[in-house]
Homo-oligomer: A and B are copies of this chain.
Amino acid sequence: MGSIYKGSLISLSLFGESHGDAIGIVIDGMPHGIEIDNDFIASEMERRRSKNINLSTARQEKDAPKILSGVLNNKLTGMPLAVIIENENKRSNDYNNLIDTPRPSHSDYVASIRYGNCNDISGGGHFSGRLTAPIVFAGALAKIVLKSKFNIDVVGHIKQVYDIKDNYPNDTLPNYTEFVKNYEKPLSVFDDKSLSLMINKIEEAKKNNDSVGGIIRLIAFNMPKGLGDPFFSSIESKVASALFSIPAVKGVDFGLGFDFTNHYGSECNDCLALENDNIITKTNHNGGINGGISNGMPIIVNVVIKPTPSIAKAQNTLNIKSKKEEILEIKGRHDPSIVVRALPVLEAMLAVTILDICMEMKGRIL
A80 touches B269 (CB 8 A): no
Q: Residue among A66, A118, A240, A320 with the most chain B CB within 10 A?
A: A118
Q: Which of A285-306 contact B (CB under 8 A)?
A: 285-287, 290-295, 302, 304-306
The residues of B that contact A226 with a CB separation of less than 8 Å are: 110, 113-114, 365
Question: Are B119 and A268 closer than 8 Å at their CB atoms?
Answer: no
Q: Does A174 contact B (CB under 8 A)?
A: no
| 6 pairs of A and B residues whose beta carbons are closest in the complex | A107-B291, A251-B253, A2-B229, A113-B226, A363-B363, A2-B233
The residue of chain B having its C-beta at the shortest distance from the C-beta of A126 within the complex is B79
CB nearest to A122 among chain B residues: B72
**Does A170 count as interface, using CB distance less than 8 angstroms?**
no
A261 touching B160 by the CB < 8 A rule? yes
A6 pairs with B6, CB closer than 8 A: yes
Establish whether residues B229 and A1, one from each chain, have CB atoms under 8 Å apart when the complex forms. Answer: yes
A110 and B3 contacting across the interface, CB-CB below 8 Å: no
Complex interface residues of chain A between 209 and 254 (CB less than 8 A to chain B): 210-215, 225-234, 236-238, 240-242, 244-245, 247, 249-254
Query: What are 20 A-B contacts with C-beta separation under 8 Å?
Result: A1-B29, A2-B228, A4-B4, A4-B11, A4-B28, A6-B6, A24-B68, A33-B115, A72-B118, A107-B230, A109-B272, A111-B291, A211-B264, A211-B266, A251-B253, A252-B252, A260-B305, A261-B304, A263-B307, A265-B306
Taking CB atoms and an 8 Å cut-off, the chain A residues in 1-16 that contact chain B are 1-6, 8-9, 11-16
How many copies of this chain?
A: 4
Kindly list chain B residues whose C-beta atoms are within 8 Å of the C-beta of A161.
261
Alpha-carbon distance A274/B325, docked complex (angstroms): 8
A225 to B323, CA, bound (A): 17
Q: Tell whether, in the assembled complex, residue B232 and residue A12 are in contact, meaning their CB atoms are under 8 Å apart.
A: yes
Compute how far the CA of A241 lies from the CA of B29 in the bound complex, rounded to whole angstroms: 19
State how many angstroms separate the Cβ of A129 from the closest Cβ of chain B.
Answer: 11
User: Judging by beta carbons under 8 Å apart, are A272 and B320 in contact?
Assistant: yes
A251 CA to B213 CA, complexed, in Å: 18
Distance (whole angstroms) from the CB of A61 to the closest CB of chain B: 16
Residue A77 contacts which of B119, B274, B292 (CB distance < 8 angstroms)? B119
Q: A256-B306, A264-B307 are in contact. List 17 more A-B contacts (CB 8 A).
A: A2-B231, A4-B6, A5-B232, A15-B69, A17-B79, A72-B118, A78-B115, A106-B291, A113-B293, A163-B262, A213-B263, A261-B305, A265-B313, A268-B306, A269-B311, A271-B317, A363-B363
